[in-house]
């Protein structure tokens, strides 16, 4: 919201929550459904959620990553860690991830999860 406010784009802002009435199917899908139904013109949605529900929407929706110049990060890497003295475990996990990379990519593609280039950090 901060990034939208700095651009003067909050006058007609409609908020949606991922929480809601779970007696209804897929409350988090409501924001994507609102775009598909023409209730709102545009939505800023967390990538994995947007990708999954946009993939199942009718009409088809286009996802576009939005670069945001903000102190608040809008992209998050997923990582895992092991204790520094667990070199063997780290090597095993790295090997599994390398070997399973195509399957992991396929699963992310199947669910419509948008991705940005990976930067690897090790210490």
Residues 68 and 89 in one domain: no
CA 36, CA 27: separation in Å to the nearest integer? 15
Expressed as residue numbers, the domain containing 89 is 77-123
Q: Which of 57, 72, 87 is the last residue of a domain?
A: 72
CA 63, CA 67: separation in Å to the nearest integer? 13
- What is the number of structural domains in the chain? 2
Residues 4 and 54 in one domain: yes
pLDDT tens digits along 48-97: 889 999 888 888 888 887 766 666 666 767 788 999 999 999 999 999 99
Which structure tokens are listed for 3?
Answer: 């990034």
Residues 120 and 85 in one domain: yes
User: How many helices (H) does the chain have, and how many strands (E)?
Assistant: 4, 0
Residue with the bigger pLDDT between 41 and 93: it is 93
CA distances from 65 to 23, 51, 91 (A): 31, 11, 33
Q: Which of 53, 72, 91 is the last residue of a domain?
A: 72
Q: Which of 72, 91, 108 is the last residue of a domain?
A: 72
């Amino acid at each position: 919201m901060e990034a939208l406010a700095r651009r003067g784009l909050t006058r007609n802002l409609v908020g949606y929550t991922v929480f809601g009435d779970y007696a209804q199917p897929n409350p988090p899908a409501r924001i994507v459904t609102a775009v598909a139904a023409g209730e709102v013109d545009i939505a800023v949605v967390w990538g994995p959620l947007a990708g999954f529900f946009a993939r199942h929407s009718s009409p088809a929706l286009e996802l576009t990553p939005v670069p945001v110049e903000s102190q608040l990060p809008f992209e998050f890497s997923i990582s895992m860690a092991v204790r520094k003295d667990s070199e063997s475990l780290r090597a095993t996990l790295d090997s599994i991830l390398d070997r399973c990379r195509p399957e992991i990519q396929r699963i992310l593609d199947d669910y419509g999860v948008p991705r940005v280039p990976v930067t690897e950090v090790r210490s």
